[in-house]
Structures are given as C-alpha cells and as structure tokens.
Amino acid sequence: MNALAATNRNFQLAARILGLDSKLHKSLLIPFREIKVECTVPRDDGSFVSYIGFRIQHDNARGPMKGGIRYHPEVDPDEVNALAQLMTWKTAVANLPYGGAKGGIGCNPRELTVSELERVTRVFTQKIHDLIGIHRDVPAPDMGTNSQTMAWILDEYSKFHGYSPAVVTGKPIELGGSLGREAATGLGVVFATEFLLDEYGMSIANMKFAIQGFGNVGSWAASFIHQKGGKVVAVSDITGAVKNPNGIDIPALLKHKEKAYSLKDFEGGDAMDLNDVLVHECDVLIPCALGGVLNKENAADVKAKFIIEAANHPTDPEADEILSRKGVIILPDIYANSGGVTVSYFEWVQNIQGFMWEEEKVNYELKRYMKRAFSDIKAMCHTHNCNLRMGAFALGVNKVARATVLRGWEA
Ligand SMILES: NC(=O)C1=CN([C@@H]2O[C@H](COP(=O)(O)OP(=O)(O)OC[C@H]3O[C@@H](n4cnc5c(N)ncnc54)[C@H](O)[C@@H]3O)[C@@H](O)[C@H]2O)C=CC1
Ligand SMILES: O=C(O)CCC(=O)C(=O)O
C-alpha cells in the first residue's frame, strides 16, 4: 500500500476511536502547504542536472512545523506527504510545541560529489527560504542528509535573513548543534525498547536483535544495544548484510564501516541476503531504513516477537494485520523514533536561549520525555482498548484536534 494511503488509514482509525467529527477530520488530513521546486545545478563536469525538491508543511496548530529533509531516489510527493503527516502526530505524542513537515529531493546522494550535494542543497534552500523559518518551519536531517547538509541550509538561509542557527536542527556542534543530537534517534529507540520490554519483565541484555539499516539511526541503536549486553545477530545496509548467531562485534563493524563506507566484506560474521534480515531468527527486529519494508509478502515469515519501528512507516497496514494475528508486538514509529525530533527541540530551545546544555542533561531530558510519552500511549491503549499504534495515533491526533478547535480553525 502506498505510504500516504497507509498513513491516512491509521489516521482514520484513530479519528474513529476519538469520535472526531467529519469536518475536523478532513481539515486535519489536508496539508497546510505543499511546495514543489525544480533544483537545477551544474555537475562537476560542467553538465547540468535537475532534481525535484519537496517540502510538505502538514500542520501548524501546535507550533512551528518540524521535520527532516530526505535525499533519496525514491522520494515522491505522496511519500513526503505521509512523512509530514507522521511528523504532526509524532511531535504531539512527544508533547513538543511543534507541528509537522517533511522535505525531500529525488536524488541519489551516493552518486553525487560533496560539491554537487552542496550546490543542490543551496539551490533548494534559495527556493524555499521564505517559507521556512525559526517560528515557521524548522528542517532537520533524515535519510541521505546529515549535519553538513544542515550547515549549508543554515548558511544559505542566513544570506537572506541574517545569521539564524535555529532555522535548522541536527547542525554541527560548531554552528550551534546540540550535544547528543546525532545519537538521539538511536538512543531514543533504545530507551523505548527498554520501556516496552520492561512491561514483559524482559531487558535488552542477552536478547537477540536484527537491525535493517546501519546509517545514523541503525548504527547508534546497534551501539547502545551492544553496550547494554544485547546481541545484534543480523544487520544490513544497502551494500550488504551480515549475521552472527553469537552477536556481531558492533565496535568492530563501526570501524570497518568507517574505512570501507559499507558493511560488505566485514569478516566478523557470514554474509547474508539483504532482505533476509527482516525475517531472521531474533527476539527484536528494528527496521532503520526505508518505509514499507514489512508487507504482505514477508510479514508471515517474521520471527521476532517485538518490532521497534525506528524507520518511518516500515510496516504497511496489511503486514500490521498479519503480525498482530501472530502476536507480534509493534512499537510504532511516531513514538519509537521520536528521540531525534525531541533532541532537535532541545537544540532549537538552546539556540533561542543562546545557551548550551551538557550532553548529560540532553540525555536525561530525552529519557524523561520518552518515558512520559510511553505512559501517555499506554493510558490511551487502556482507555480505548487498542494496540500501541492506535494508542499513539489517538494520543497525537487528539492533541492536534484540541489545538485546532481552541484556535478556532474548525471549518
Ligand atoms: N536521522 C534521524 O534523526 C531520524 C531518522 N528517522 C528514520 O530512520 C530511518 C533511517 O534514517 P537515517 O538513519 O537518518 O538514514 P541514513 O541515510 O543515515 O541511513 C540509512 C541506512 O539505511 C540503509 N539502507 C537503505 N536501503 C536499504 C535496504 N534496502 N536494505 C538495507 N539497508 C538499507 C543505508 O545503507 C543506510 O545504512 C528513515 O526511515 C528515517 O526517516 C526517524 C527519525 C529521526
Ligand atoms: O529532528 C527533526 O526535526 C525531525 C526528525 C525526523 O525527520 C523524523 O522524526 O522523522
């Protein structure tokens, strides 16, 4: 199922649980603004290339819109729309004073040089600079982008509006980035996993994990799991996958990736097929790459008892039903990966205050926010007798609906 249809479906189920009236329901679904721009840039060899860039601003009832910018060949408007909507519910679940947005450029960053990536980013920023802003819409990294991308956006935006570090988060520390932001999504995933396992009298130590994706989120999640005594028995990235029933040496894998820029040819385990990671024998599966990877083709073969959705919308609704019939417990994306946007919020607050927090404070506050959101979701599940995904959606949608009504925006 397409990402937008899947996200709309989850929203509609939550709206029904909450008994939202149909006008409010419709107004919450329609994005505030959809931006589509052409980014034409010279390549290093002098030829020109054009990409389409999107920024979908979904909702701003609870505050400035917030969400990452993705560089990936499969970026399309429906997917960005779905991701923007997910940001609206995610910021509400985490109780951050933000709405939701997401952006993307349909390019393959692996095929572009650093100077080409810089030019694409600067042209994209020139085209959207008057529609983003500290109290309007604050971008951050997502797949295929990083702190350097944010530094270019900050610099280009500042040419038009004066030096404005709070216009993006996930920046380099030297430009006002927050300590702890780079690791935050992975650390948040691990806090969320601990809270969930604790409900079942279990802990990370000695449990077996399979992780799809070894970029920002996957590599930090794997490192924290390893530190806490969990066994990562399978891991993949776009270049390859590796398995080891005794647990992969994650620090060694990180060193290998630093040199080889990929997981391929790592000697601390056996190579395996990329997609087999999702159905590998393990207790906990953590997808940390693309959306829609768990679908009706592979859901029945999943061996994990728990799925922690570190990626955005990794499970499509058909897989959700199959997995739920198998008794698999799914911790949904809009909660499980909210550590990133939570520390982005801390970064924005620090920039506005002109004051820098210690990393210890960042991580302490992150854990506190994640704990509170987990309790709020469980309370929703209890009230509405629903699963964790519906508990999280109902929590997020309800907060945004309340803000919409209070602001007098009901149609
Ligand atoms: N970076 C952040 O702070 C946040 C990211 N997310 C979500 O987490 C997911 C990953 O994001 P990042 O780690 O930032 O991206 P990234 O670009 O740093 O890493 C993505 C990883 O996925 C791998 N990958 C891509 N296709 C694959 C495939 N078919 N099989 C196996 N591996 C594959 C890549 O090789 C890479 O290792 C995305 O869904 C993103 O939306 C969610 C919240 C915050
Ligand atoms: O850090 C942020 O502002 C947004 C992160 C993001 O794009 C996400 O949570 O999916």
Residue nearest to atom 1 of ligand 2 (CA): 341
Any ligand 2 atom below 6 A from CB of 404: no
312 a known binding residue? no
Q: Is the pLDDT confidence value at 334 over 70?
A: yes
Any ligand 2 atom below 6 A from CB of 312: yes
pTM for the whole structure: 0.98
Residue nearest to atom 9 of ligand 2 (CA): 341
Ligand 1 centroid from CA 333, angstroms: 13
Band the pLDDT of 58: cuts 50, 70, 90: very high
Segment 258-283, tens digit of pLDDT: 988 888 889 999 999 999 999 999 99
344 a known binding residue? yes
Any ligand 1 atom below 6 A from CB of 290: yes
- Best CA proximity match to 100, nearest among 7, 31, 20: 31
Q: What is the pLDDT of residue 260?
A: 86
The residues that are catalytic are 102
Q: Please give the ipTM for the structure prediction.
A: 0.99
Ligand 1 centroid from CA 405, angstroms: 36
Segment 142-164, tens digit of pLDDT: 999 999 999 999 999 999 999 99
Buried b (16+ CB within 10 A) or exposed e, 289-302: bbbbbbbeeebeeb
Ligand 1 centroid from CA 162, angstroms: 32
Segment 80-89, tens digit of pLDDT: 999 999 999 9
DSSP string over 157-195 = HHHHHS--GGGSSS--GGGTPPTTHHHHHHHHHHHHHHH
90 a known binding residue? yes
Residue type, 69: I
Ligand 2 centroid from CA 177, angstroms: 14
Any ligand 1 atom below 6 A from CB of 221: no
- The structure tokens listed for 94 are 């985490």
Q: Is the pLDDT confidence value at 411 over 70?
A: no
* Residue to substitute in 344, 349, 351, 362 for testing ligand 2 pocket (most ligand atoms within 8 angstroms of CB): 344
216 a known binding residue? yes
Residue 293 CA: which ligand is closest? 1
Q: What is the pLDDT of residue 1?
A: 83
Q: Which strands, in side-by-side order, build the sheet including 208-212? A: 270-272, 240-243, 231-237, 208-212, 284-287, 306-308, 329-331
Segment 13-28, tens digit of pLDDT: 999 999 999 889 989 9
Q: What is the pLDDT of residue 92?
A: 98
259 a known binding residue? no
Q: What is the pLDDT of residue 223?
A: 98
Residue nearest to atom 17 of ligand 1 (CA): 143
